[in-house]
Amino acid sequence: MLGCVVHKLEAVDSTQAALARLAREGAPEGTVVTAGHQTGGRGSRGRHWWDAPGESLLLSVLLRPAIPTAHAPQLSLVAGLAVTDSLAALNVRGRIRWPNDVLVGGRKICGVLPEAVSRGDGRVEHVILGIGVNVNQTEFPQHLRDHAISLRLATGAAHDPERLLGRLLDALDGRYEAWRVGGFAALRDAWRLGSCTIGEPVRTADGRDGVAVDVAEDGALLVRTRDGGLRRVVSRAGIGARGLEAEGDRDAARH
Ligand code: BTN
């Protein structure tokens, strides 16, 4: 049950780091850390995740699935779907940009960061799933202004991050259970419906231009490149200190 234990912090370096400490002490699956503000919020690819104190939903969820480490990035897709579920309950249409963004009106409202620790035999010790949602910001720093949106800007009304947390954990609980039983294949149709990536031009990390034509049963993005080839693009989860690199790691970037 996700959210069985919730640690609510006013401010922290990163909820990812705080939950990693609890995970090492043996915290159970479903443990959640939230914060009103992060001084060192982590984004994907080593970027900083900006927040304005009290205006975001910032959470990390501890998962202990019995899976190969290479499957951990699928949890990003699972979380993206759960975020769109929780937005839909507020009549907001979020679209998932593979692998880990949720957009509203073409602007980013949420980012997801899965960080996996491998046992060393290629299987997962745990995954810390970080989710940041812009909730009540009315403005953003210059570098984000053209790309970011908050729930408040999208709806014209303020929202309670606590209520959103409840909705999101409920949605994540349901999607995570479906994924545990049936793998990403069980969520694939719903994910396709909620995604804005299929049909869009993308560039693979090795610089090939193409069009995203589908998502595979394991969550890889299928890209038809200009030379006519079909390439599988696999997203990458951060792998912890005891970890191994997931094989075939490659991300696609949006044009
Ligand atoms: C991205 O770059 O899109 C991923 C952003 C993930 C941000 C969230 S906020 C809660 C959790 N704690 C962090 O330090 N990062 C994640």
The pLDDT tens digits of the residues spanning 30-42 come to: 999 999 999 999 9
Ligand 1 proximity of 86 Cβ (cutoff 6 Å): no
Ligand 1 proximity of 100 Cβ (cutoff 6 Å): yes
58 CA from centroid of ligand 1 (Å): 7
- Mean pLDDT, the chain, integer: 92
Q: Do 132 and 41 contact (CB within 8 A), yes or no?
A: yes
Query: pLDDT, tens digit, for every residue of 156-182?
Result: 999 999 999 999 999 999 999 999 999
Alpha-carbon span 165 to 159, nearest angstrom: 11
Confidence band for 246, pLDDT divided at 50, 70 and 90: very low
Instruction: Give yes or no for residue 250 having a pLDDT over 90.
Output: no
Residue 158, C-beta contacts closer than 8 angstroms, at least 6 positions apart = 136, 152
Confidence band for 107, pLDDT divided at 50, 70 and 90: very high
**How many CA atoms lie less than 13 Å away from 102 in the CB half-sphere?**
31
Ligand 1 proximity of 60 Cβ (cutoff 6 Å): yes
3-class SS at 246? Answer: coil
170 CA from centroid of ligand 1 (Å): 20
Give the E-state strand segments of the chain in sequence order: 6-12, 32-38, 56-63, 95-97, 101-104, 107-118, 124-134, 201-204, 209-215, 221-225, 230-233, 238-239, 252-254
Confidence band for 237, pLDDT divided at 50, 70 and 90: low
**What pLDDT, on a 0 to 100 scale, did the predictor assign at position 238?**
61
241 phi, psi to nearest 5 deg: -55, -40
Paired strand residues for 131:
59, 112
Q: Which atom in ligand 1 lies closest to the alpha carbon of residue 100? A: 3
pTM of the entire structure? 0.93
Probe target for ligand 1 pocket from 14, 113, 164, with the most ligand atoms within 8 Å of CB: 113
Alpha-carbon span 51 to 15, nearest angstrom: 13
Query: pLDDT, tens digit, for every residue of 114-134?
Result: 999 999 899 999 999 999 999
Helices (H), 38-134: 74-88
* Chain centroid to CA 155: 22
Of the chain, the percentage scoring pLDDT greater than 70 comes to 93
Ligand 1 proximity of 42 Cβ (cutoff 6 Å): yes
3-class SS at 219? Answer: coil
